[in-house]
Amino acid sequence: MESASTEQQLTAHRDRPVIELDDLDVRLGARPVLQKLRVKLTGRSIGLLGPNGAGKSTLINTLLGFHTPSSGTARVFGLDLLTHARQIRSQIGYMPENDSFIAGMSGVRLVRLMAELTGLPAEQALERTHEAFFYVGMGEARYRDVGTYSLGMKQMTKLAQAVVHGPKLLFLDEPTNGLDPPARARMLQLIQEIRDRGDMHLLLSSHLLRDVEMCCDQVLILKNGRIAAFCDLEEERRQNRRFLELETRGGGAPFVDAIERLGCEAAWSGNGRVKLVLPDGVEVRNIYELASKQQVQIRRMSHKRDSLEDIFLRAMEEKAPVATTGVAPPPAAR
């Protein structure tokens, strides 16, 4: 009985929204920037995508309490932005896109100051600062003036100050921006390690779709201040494993008909190519067995999957972005 109760608690925790937007509107001056955003985000690592001007930075700044909603609200870990903004900020680490260093400070002094501003005592702040710098791979360089750092070192310093106080939610705004390939690979490795460690949620805003695809399990796409798409990447990957493309020799309409009698959706596209969707209960081996009976040679078989780029482009092509309740939409028709 006790173990069942524990399991229920764990399930409830996993399903609890990290971020919940409830008809969130934000206006800057007279201009509407975010409009009627309604979504529940429960992922361990959430990607935020959209073209320039879509409202990504405004959404992050609103969740940080820098902008006040004109209507609606947002909740972070169940705390309402309108009434618990300070408490929400205490649980967030923020790595901004733009540099915002204090001139003449060493890396250690800067990150220690950031740690103390979160409320850590001076001695603990210094200890956590050294741990954060070692974690991001900066040894003796942490004693140098931040103004002498390379771009990659500055990015690592911004990451160090974002995690130094052990936040529950980490906002990363363009963390790989401008990095060379080795530095970018190192940054992505650190983000994946933070995600996989399991004690911190991530919100990653980036214009690099590959970075989001590598690091995130849910993606929110904004367009013109509205939600254009919400995608559960893990569910997409599971669905896509059931979609096959075959290159055959000797196949044709009879082979496709036989595949359909197994319960598959299938289409013959000419030149020996067959596209099909496997239903539950039908496996790849069943297709090979059928091909053997039909004396059809399967020369190549591949799992087709929509990349995040495909999903993003579809969202950008939609004429009217549609708000979502946070439930992943069904896979797009192929």
pLDDT tens string 212-237: 989 999 999 999 999 999 988 877 76
- Do β-strands 19-28 and 71-76 pair in parallel, antiparallel, or remain unpaired? antiparallel
Reported pTM: 0.75
DSSP 194-220: HHHHSS-EEEEE-S-HHHHHHH-SEEE
Q: What does pLDDT average to over the chain?
A: 87
Tell me the average pLDDT across 29-40: 94
305 — pLDDT class (breaks 50, 70, 90): low
Tell me the average pLDDT across 48-63: 93
Residue 96 has pLDDT above 90, yes or no: yes
Tell me the average pLDDT across 28-40: 94
Residue 302 has pLDDT above 70, yes or no: yes
| pLDDT score, position 83 | 95
| pLDDT score, position 104 | 92
* Packing angle, helices 253-261 and 284-293, rounded to 10: 130
124-165, pLDDT tens digit by residue? 999 999 999 999 999 889 999 999 999 999 999 999 999 999
Say if residues 47 and 220 touch (Cβ distance below 8 Å).
yes
Say if residues 58 and 76 touch (Cβ distance below 8 Å).
no
- Do β-strands 45-49 and 218-223 pair in parallel, antiparallel, or remain unpaired? parallel
DSSP 217-278: SEEEEEETTEEEEEEEHHHHHHHHTTEEEEEEES-SHHHHHHHHHTT-EEEEEETTEEEEEP
CA distance 105 to 144: 8
319 — pLDDT class (breaks 50, 70, 90): low
| pLDDT score, position 332 | 39
Say if residues 316 and 228 touch (Cβ distance below 8 Å).
yes
Q: What percent of the chain has pLDDT over 70?
A: 88
237-266, pLDDT tens digit by residue? 666 557 888 999 887 888 999 999 999 988
| pLDDT score, position 230 | 92
Say if residues 23 and 37 touch (Cβ distance below 8 Å).
yes
| pLDDT score, position 237 | 65
Residue 193 tokens, joined? 């390690």
| pLDDT score, position 329 | 39
Tell me the average pLDDT across 21-35: 94
Question: What are the residues whose beta carbons fall under 8 Å from the beta carbon of 280, sequence distance 6 or more?
Answer: none
Residue 230 tokens, joined? 């919400």
| pLDDT score, position 326 | 46
CB atoms under 10 Å from CB of 48, counted, come to 25
- ∠63-198-156 over CA atoms, to 5°? 65
| pLDDT score, position 320 | 46
Tell me the average pLDDT across 296-307: 79
Mind listing the domains of the chain with CATH numbers?
14-236 (3.40.50.300), 242-303 (3.30.70)
Say if residues 311 and 252 touch (Cβ distance below 8 Å).
no
Say if residues 239 and 331 touch (Cβ distance below 8 Å).
yes
| pLDDT score, position 44 | 93
DSSP state for residue 327 in the 8-state scheme: P
